Amino acid sequence: MDKPDLRKLRISQQESVRVKVLKAVDDGMRKKDVMSTFGVSDAVIYKWLAVREKRKEDWSKQEKRGRPSQISLTTKQEKQVKKMIIEKCPDDLNLPFTLWSRAAVGELLQVYFGIVVSHWTIGRYLNTWRLVPPDPICKNTQKKSVELKKWLNKDYPVIQKRALKETVEIHWGDEMGMKSHNLAARTLPVKGESAVVSKTMMRYRLNMISSLTNRGKLQFKLFNGEFTDAIFIDFMSRLIRGSPRKVFLIVDGHQIHLNRSVKEWLSGHSNRIELFLLPGCTFYIKPQNYIQ
């Protein structure tokens, strides 16, 4: 007969087994018999005896399993960090980054608060602060357009080959709006009762411009108000300052991407960044820099 796997039992059942095992040991049962009867190892028995001796009270209670939580910021500190991310860029705070990323937030926590947390915990913080893009609530069921298929099959491979040959980093850029409340919330009420959706009263709106590399590296900048030429140029300048290699930035056909001031800035920084437009865009300065 196979021994039961105690890890698959509920916590209350594990606590019950622990009590029975130690009671049997106290009653004089040989450890060899205890091991065969309850399906525990010799090391586990000694561990439980040590825990009982150390804790005295509530020794039978199961401790929380898994990695301990790294959430260690106070509420006041969280508000300070959130305000810094929204109102400042990393280099404004004397950090060695130009745009916000998980690494930049981690450096901020370490320098200003003396707290070191993992990459994943930083992601949980950002999610808690609602500094993440909202989940989409619409699904596009239309097939890829002919222009997009042509771009993916013909033009994009050319960009990839150039990036590989010239040691260039490919970034996919986009802008989006962010809100603190969830627009996609749904609920099913009890029959005869009104549906209730819990929402926070602390509502705010922000805009974000970000870039994502093919390797999954995300960098972003938060801003209030409308998306303007100055914001886009500032984002690109920070992007190239924070990148040791030349950047290929792929964006959509937003009107700001087509403005004269953007063209002039790109012309003056062609050795550090090139802009590629997705299908449907008709504007370009140089054929090798802008693909329709």
Lowest-pLDDT range of 9-13, 97-101, 162-166: 9-13
State the pLDDT at residue 284: 37
* 286: CB partners within 8 A, 6+ apart: 270
The phi and psi torsions of 221 (rounded to 5 degrees) equal: -140, 130
Do residues 256 and 233 make contact, with C-beta atoms less than 8 angstroms apart?
A: no
**Judging by DSSP bridges, how do beta strands 169-179 and 218-223 pair with one another?**
unpaired
CA distances from 43 to 20, 46, 50, 185 (A): 16, 5, 11, 49
The answer, yes or no, to whether residue 42 has pLDDT greater than 90, is no
- Domain 146-277 fold is Nucleotidyltransferase; domain 5 (3.30.420)
CA distances from 113 to 80, 84, 240 (A): 10, 13, 28
State the pLDDT at residue 34: 81
Task: State mean pLDDT over 196-207.
Answer: 67
**What does the mean pLDDT of the chain come to?**
79
State the pLDDT at residue 276: 92
37/7: higher pLDDT: 37
- In the chain, pLDDT over 70 holds for what percent of residues? 75
The answer, yes or no, to whether residue 140 has pLDDT greater than 70, is no
Task: State mean pLDDT over 18-35.
Answer: 83
Return the domain boundaries, the chain. 6-55, 75-128, 146-277
